[in-house]
Amino acid sequence: MNQKDLWFQACEKIPGGVNSPVRAFGGVGGQPVFMDRSEGAYLYDIQGKAYIDLVLSFGPIILGHRPPQVIHALQKQLEKGLSYGATTSAEVNLAKQILKMIPNMDMIRLVNSGTEATMSAVRLARGFTKKNKILKFKGCYHGHGDSFLIQAGSGALTHGVPSSLGVTPGVAKDTLVAPYNHLEAVESIFESHPDEIAAVIVEPVAGNMGVVLPKPGFLEGLRALTKKHASLLIFDEVMTGFRVAKGGAAELYQVQPDLFTLGKIIGGGLPLAAYAGTREIMEMVSPLGGVYQAGTLSGNPMATAAGLSQLEHLEQLNPWDDLQEKTQYLAQSLKNAAQKEGVSVQVNQVASMFTVFFSKNAVTDTDSALAANASEYAQFFHLMLERGVYLPPSQYEAAFLSTAHTSSVIESIIDKAQESFKIMAKNQ
């Protein structure tokens, strides 16, 4: 079946033809590409065309596609069974591995998705502090829980939806929003809502308005304010956990939250996420405490097998310095290639995450991200796609490298980008 026919059938049976909005190419135009298989740094579509993959399932594929260690672990578990609805040793082993790698957390609860993790962490923060309101940041995306779909990032930015139908006024009034990287606004909100804010939840590195790094002092300031006002600080490290450093952004920036949410990489490519905290906080979770959260497939044997294998191999391989060096080189090379053709770009990068913004100005928050030229990004996206490079189909999503992206693969990306920028310059 060709791409066009399959897309027609998808639109007939699935809302918008996709099971997650960003896949619909709404931010870049055209029809999405149906992928069939993957290997290393490459995706292959249903007609066999190869693409250098810079999406990497939006983050989880840090070892490249189909790493032998993870595939072997899955094959072993497949022989034992898919799901039991009972406790397994793999859950315990994965919990121990995660807690060994992230800083200063005592207990963890496994769930199925990043949305479940963030919803549960916020509920836990409310139960622990006995306060109702949460504070989030404009353009940060924490999944599709009702509390988070207020000036959210990711697909909500791509499709121009600052909120969502179905979110009640009651939920909205308990969600306070500040601009990312503007500490004075956070301080003002705390002063306006004394003793009401249960938690501040933040992507320590924003990845859902494109990659936007925290300004010096921003995360430290959030830590100080939450302590001052007896609120919890939640780091949403669903994207950055084990991606930007062994211990995630908390290790990279040396700021300790009260709760982590994790996902993507910890599942090794399968659906798995978690939230973690100190013993005092986590013992509030049922069946020990009164904060209820449950899930039939939480700690699924296949997902825990994949996640444990990936994390163990990551710890042994210790690839973070090498990934940072390769991605920094790629980011600077893309910027140089654009400048050579007179195309204005900003390339925001941290560790193995990056975003090419088509802007003359630095991108430091949601407003400056939205000011970037999304139509130029769409043109660049399609030029790269034609040349066999698969970028995120939205200006407001992060791109990634993996250990499978060798020097020759990176040079190929740079060459194809140079060609694309040259064509863009001619079209200006």
Q: CA-CA distance, 66 to 399, in Å (whole number)?
A: 19
58 is in which domain, residue-wise?
3-62+319-427
Higher pLDDT, 160 or 150: 150
Q: CA-CA distance, 323 to 307, in Å (whole number)?
A: 20
Q: Which of 236, 258, 326, 396 is catalytic?
A: 236
Q: What pLDDT, in 10s, does the model give residues 58-102?
A: 999 999 999 999 999 999 999 999 999 999 999 999 999 999 999
Active site annotation includes 396: no
Q: Which of 317, 342, 363 is the last residue of a domain?
A: 317
Active site annotation includes 275: no
The radius of gyration of the chain from alpha carbons, rounded to an integer in Å, stands at 21
Q: Which two tokens stand for residue 61?
A: 């594929």
Burial of 387 (0-12, 13-18, 19+ CB in 10 A): middle
Same domain flag for 145 and 208: yes
Phi, psi of 10 (to 5 degrees): -60, -45
Same domain flag for 120 and 234: yes
Residue pair 53/42 in contact (Cβ under 8 Å)? The answer is yes
Residue pair 226/260 in contact (Cβ under 8 Å)? The answer is no
Give the chain's domain count. Answer: 2
Residue 75's contacts (CB-CB under 8 Å, 6 or more residues apart) are none
Q: Residue 222 pLDDT more than 60?
A: yes
Residue pair 334/347 in contact (Cβ under 8 Å)? The answer is yes
Same domain flag for 345 and 408: yes
- The answer to whether the predicted template modeling score (pTM) of the entire model surpasses 0.85 is yes
Same domain flag for 178 and 36: no
Q: Which of 141, 180, 253, 377 is catalytic?
A: 141
Question: Amino acid identity, residue 193?
Answer: H
**Any idea how long the chain is?**
428
Q: Which two tokens stand for residue 178?
A: 């500040």
Q: In CATH, what number is assigned to the domain containing residue 330?
A: 3.90.1150.10
Mean pLDDT of the 186-203 span: 95
Same domain flag for 306 and 326: no
Question: Can you give the pLDDT at residue 361?
Answer: 97
Q: Which two tokens stand for residue 122?
A: 């916020």
Residue 86's contacts (CB-CB under 8 Å, 6 or more residues apart) are none
Question: Amino acid identity, residue 132?
Answer: N
Same domain flag for 36 and 114: no
Q: Which of 264, 275, 390, 396 is catalytic?
A: 264
Residue pair 421/383 in contact (Cβ under 8 Å)? The answer is no
Active site annotation includes 322: no
Question: Can you give the pLDDT at residue 174?
Answer: 85
